[in-house]
């Protein structure tokens, strides 16, 4: 049997087996589920996924139910990246010790976090993972606000936006700071692949996600 990897093309993508089921309570129209479904279905490889605390996590794993049809780890707001880095390192060590059959295909490691967990709370953990060169893909679900905790501004919030902690009104026009340029920051870490995607450009998104999966080393995807 050939070990050559089969890459899903856009025609077969729509008929792929679901790894992210619709059994969640995300708000109607929320792009989180669209993005996550397309990321998980963009590859035929086995997946190990971690998710930071946030909208995605609380809405997709309400005990005893789950939307995740893959190996999935929920960890704190800040350290989803280090959780997946630990799993990725453990995989390497167990293979080196011969405790995993070398013929077993390598899984792909993916982390999802919101802009609060990425741009702010978890930034130093993500920075460390990229500096150490872990082989994983970090996907930021960037809705530009702390949506799960009341709509506070994050460092991803664009200038002029109105949030509960930066309200527009008679004394202020809203958020006074420019959005942090996370793509430039992660590129400056030496990441071999950094990209920005949006689900309305789904063909572009799938091509970039597949490029990310095929890239060795830490990959950063900012999903608007």
- In the chain, the domains with their CATH numbers are 26-223 (3.40.50.970)
pLDDT band (50, 70, 90) for residue 197:
very high
d(CA 55, CA 149): 9
**What pLDDT, on a 0 to 100 scale, did the predictor assign at position 17?**
74
**Do 34 and 205 form a contact (C-beta atoms < 8 A)?**
no
Is the pLDDT score of 6 beyond 70? no
**In whole angstroms, how far apart are CA 178 and each of 55, 73, 171?**
24, 33, 19
pLDDT for 109: 98
Decide if pLDDT at 185 tops 60: yes
Query: Which residue blocks in the chain are alpha helix, DSSP H?
Result: 10-13, 31-41, 55-60, 80-96, 115, 123-132, 182-188, 202-213
Which percentage of the chain shows pLDDT scores above 70? Answer: 93
pLDDT at 7 over 70: no
What is the predicted pLDDT for the residue at 2? 46
Q: Which pLDDT value is given to residue 173? A: 94
Per-residue pLDDT tens digits for 206-219: 999 999 999 999 99
Other C-beta atoms closer than 10 Å to the C-beta of 165 total 13
Q: Is the pLDDT of residue 114 over 50?
A: yes
Q: Per-residue pLDDT for 1 more than 50? A: no
């Amino acid at each position: 049997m050939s070990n050559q990897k089969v890459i899903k093309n856009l025609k077969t993508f729509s008929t792929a087996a679901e790894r992210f089921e619709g059994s969640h309570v995300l708000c109607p129209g929320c792009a989180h589920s669209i993005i996550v479904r397309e990321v998980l279905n963009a590859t035929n490889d086995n997946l190990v996924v971690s998710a930071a605390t946030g909208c995605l996590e609380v809405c997709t794993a309400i005990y005893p139910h789950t939307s995740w049809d893959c190996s999935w780890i929920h960890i704190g707001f800040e350290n989803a990246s280090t959780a997946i880095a630990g799993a990725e390192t453990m995989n390497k060590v167990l293979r080196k010790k011969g405790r995993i059959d070398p013929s077993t295909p390598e899984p792909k490691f993916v982390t999802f976090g919101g802009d609060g967990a990425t741009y702010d709370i978890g930034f130093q953990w993500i920075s460390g993972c990229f500096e150490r060169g872990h082989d994983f893909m970090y996907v930021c679900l960037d809705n530009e606000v702390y949506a799960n905790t009341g709509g506070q501004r994050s460092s991803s919030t664009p200038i002029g936006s109105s949030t509960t902690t930066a309200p527009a009104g008679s004394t202020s026009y809203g958020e006074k700071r420019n959005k942090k340029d996370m793509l430039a920051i992660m590129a400056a870490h030496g990441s071999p692949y950094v990209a920005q995607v949006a689900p309305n450009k789904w063909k572009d998104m799938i091509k970039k996600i597949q490029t990310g999966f095929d890239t060795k080393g830490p990959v950063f995807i900012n999903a608007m």
